Structure 1
């Protein structure tokens, strides 16, 4: 039998149609993935991928065997997840974007520890949702399109509007006054300003470039410091609005097609540690 690592490399590269993406998922280098697949091809005596300048494609042999390997590794991953959750049901691992982890989950953790002291909650920040069938997380909390699936809980709609420091708001009477202001951008949600302006000031051509931040929390901090105006996501900025550190200078809001969504690999079971943690996070009002 060929080495398990070679089979894992083949399955990931074939499923993702990319050696580089497989390397990211397996936490190795693309060269290591290529070497593992080469060793598997040597074991079979046949090519599993066609290499070309734009990437790789499965050969008919590779395409034929891929579904079986996907099913096998899905079953193995599910068994590992079940083993982990049964052995330590009160250890909850959550994956979330950095903004959600910092601005929505983190403020809730002290109350969660008080209310559910038996739970151990770990948070991992990442830009893209993990594959819950393969990666060791119980919950994934991300803004997602509202294409509801059975294991989703919608925590809040995604509503956006401009926010700024109180002293900056004094000069804002209408969207047209934005021409004299600095617009701040988060690189993950760079289109937010355009989306909001299309509703608040159609045809006025008010969009302009401004400072960009790869972390939404950093953009918010600069916004609080008076550096400019940022598009706020209501779920993330509500505590800052309630404390008066930020204000919303205009009444126009836009509800995006996405929503703050909590997803698990398996259906939530009433009374389970996972459901208790999820219900607490959603119900808590800061």
Structure 2
């Protein structure tokens, strides 16, 4: 009787994904962050893959790792393959749940700009569910399952939503102490760690040559800095789109007239063309109207 030999054993997908991420990002730790696992898990996956192949994919050094010649030759095809897989997964998710829209946004944008607009979207289209993930940086469009992305950018990707003008804001009770920019020397100046150059950008335009270094607490969450400013903790550089509601309500005021327009703008984009009439397209239209 014929003998059927066992088929060749395939390579584990998770190990291949770990190799591609580590090779593309230049290290095991960066790959672990992207994949949501530990650096030890990435190391184990790649070691098992190298043992299965019988050849090294990385050269280990005291300061890190470097792709071997084999790894360099293999990387482009694996990157293209996982990019295509990511886009296919996005299409599958969109077609399986066509009424759910996944949005990735900067935390400050999600809290201060996007969240106040969700009730109107729910009222206009109660059948659409909006899911929001706050990220510190835009995601890899080909690898993540987001329908829409909302971040500040300096290029022209996607749709322009709002410009970015910066200017000091404070609680009304502090405004009376601020006649000129020089008065900032005696008041706490709040700073957001994601935008450390905001004060210098504004002072350079509003008071060139003024020898003042704004001093005060630094926050890793802009929304918290805004809340503390409302509470009277000091003066913060406001971003027009993010403090508009507080200015309209009177919770914050702008004590100086000068506003500085930055090169970046708030932009909305998708990894793939939005199908006309789809839930994602309708939400994108509302947000960019």
Which TM-score applies when normalising by structure 2?
0.94
2:215 counterpart of 1:209: yes
Whether 1:270 and 2:276 are equivalent positions in the alignment is: yes
Q: How does 1:1-286 map to 2 (within 5 A)?
A: 1-145=10-154, 147-149=155-157, 152-283=158-289
Would the aligned equivalents of 2:148 and 2:268 in 1 still touch at CA under 8 Å?
yes
Partners of 1:85 and 1:268 in 2: CA distance: 10
Residues 47 and 59 in structure 1, CA contact (< 8 A), matched pair in contact too: yes
- How many pairs are equivalent? 280
Q: TM-score, normalised by structure 1?
A: 0.95
Aligned-pair CA distance for 1:209: 2.3
Q: Secondary structure at the match of 1:123?
A: strand
Q: Against the structure 1 CA distance between its residues 263 and 54, is the aligned structure 2 distance closer, same or farther, given a 3 Å change threshold? A: farther
**How well do the aligned residues superpose, as a CA RMSD in angstroms?**
1.1
- Are the counterparts in 2 of residues 132 and 138 from structure 1 also a CA contact under 8 Å? no
Once the two structures are TM-superposed, the CA of residue 91 in structure 1 deviates from its matched residue by 0.6
Q: Which runs of 5+ in 1 are unaligned?
A: none
Q: Is the CA contact 1:91–1:119 (under 8 Å) kept in the aligned structure 2?
A: yes
